[in-house]
Amino acid sequence: MSEHEKYYYSEILPFMKERYGKKLGKIGLTLHIPCPNEPPCIFCNRDSFIPQTIKGAVTVKEQMEQGLPYVKRKYPTDQFVAYFQDNTSTYGDINYLKKSFREALSYPEIRVLALSTRPDSIYPALLEMLNRTAGGRDVWLELGLQSVHDSTLKTIGRGHDYACFLNAFKMIRENTDFLAGVHLIIGLPCETDEMVFETFREINRIKPDYIKIHHLQVIKGTGLEKIFKNGGYEPLTLKKYIELFSKAVSYLDRSIVIHRNLSRAHADQLIAPKWGIIAEEFKEKVHEYMDKNGLYQGSSL
C-alpha cells in the first residue's frame, strides 16, 4: 500500500511484498487423500476443491509439471506458493505426505508450502516432519474453523469443537514458526450477527497470522443443498454480506492479514447465492460501505 492509499484492512499483497519482496503466484495441488470427517460438513462437496488445472494428474510431480506452465502464464511473478487446498492435507500416512511435500518443494520456484487442514489432523510428529521437510522455506498452515461457537460447529457437522482447534493452534505455535491461518465463514445457519462478531473478537485473542473469510455458498451435492431446497436455509444477500464482512473486520486486530474476502464456486456447482461479482468489485463495494460507516480493520476495538 502506498503511503497515500487509504487503509481499509490488512491485505495479502502488501504482506507478500513485505515478506517476500514480491507477489507470489499460487499453484493448487491435491494429495488425493480423503477427509476423515464423515459425513462431511454440510456445505462441503469435496470434489469442488480439486484445482481445475491439475484434473487427471495423480502424483504431485505430475501436477507440478502440468500446473506450473499454466500459473507462470497467469501470474506476473517467478515465485509461487504450492497450495494443497482440498480435503485434509495433513491426514493419512505421514511418509506419503512427506514424499508429496518434498516433490512440490523440489521446484526452485516454490517459496512457500501451504496446507489447508483440520485441527484434529495436527499432531507433534507431523509438525516435526513439516519442519524438516520445509528446510527453511515458509510453511503456511491453515486450519478450518468457520466459527468459534460449538453449537454452530455441531450444526454444520464439523466433527470437532472449538477446544480441539485451540489445542491444535497451541501445538503449532509452540513447536514451529509456521505462519498460522484460520478459515472463517460468514452466513452459517443459526448464527446471529452478534455470533459472527464474537468469532472475530475471539480470533484476536488467538492471533493467527492471517485469516481467510468467505460467505456460505450452497453447492450441489451437499447436505446444505437439501436444507436449502426444503426452505431451511436462506443465503445472505450481497448487501448483508458486505455489512457483516465490514463490521466483523472492524473487530479484528490490524496485525491479522485478510487473505481472502470472497469465495466463488464453479458456476456448474453453485446453487446460491448467485451474485455474479468478482473480487475487485466486491472490494470496491466494501470500501464504499466502510467509508459511509467510518469503519476499517480494528476501528471497533
Residues interacting with ligand SF4, by CB under 6 A? 35, 37, 40-41, 44, 46, 87-88, 118, 144
What single DSSP character describes residue 215?
E
Minimum distance from CB of 176 to ligand SF4 (Å)?
A: 21
How far apart, in whole angstroms, are the C-alpha atoms of residue 33 and residue 121? 13
By beta-carbon proximity to ligand SF4, the closer residue of 149 and 247 is: 149
As measured in angstroms, the least distance from the Cβ of 94 to ligand SF4 is 19
Q: Minimum Å distance from CB 37 to ligand SF4?
A: 4
Q: Decide whether 41 or 257 has the Cβ nearer to ligand SF4.
A: 41
Contact in structure between 215 and 234 (CB atoms under 8 Å): no
State which residue, 26 or 118, has the beta carbon closest to ligand SF4. 118
Least separation in angstroms between CB 89 and ligand SF4? 9
Closest CA to 130 of 108, 110, 107, 105: 105
Q: What is the closest distance, in whole angstroms, from the C-beta atom of residue 205 to ligand SF4 in the complex?
A: 23
Quickly list H helices, the chain: 12-20, 60-74, 94-105, 124-134, 150-155, 162-175, 193-206, 223-229, 238-250, 279-293
Q: Residue 10 corresponds to which cell in the numbers above? A: 490488512
CB 149 to ligand SF4: min, Å: 16
- The C-alpha cell at 89 is 492435507
Which residues make beta-bridge pairs with 144? 183
**CB-nearer residue toward ligand SF4: 91 or 251:** 91
- Helix 60-74 vs helix 94-105: crossing angle, to nearest 10: 40
For ligand SF4, the closer CB: 25 or 40: 40
Our CB check for ligand SF4 shows the closer of 142 and 209 to be 142
Residue 54 near residue 30 (C-beta atoms within 8 A): yes
Backbone φ, ψ for residue 44 (5° rounding): -100, 125
Find the shortest distance in angstroms from Cβ 233 to ligand SF4.
16
For 50, how many CA atoms within 13 A lie in the half-sphere containing its CB?
14
Compute the C-alpha angle 160/128/84, nearest 5°. Answer: 60
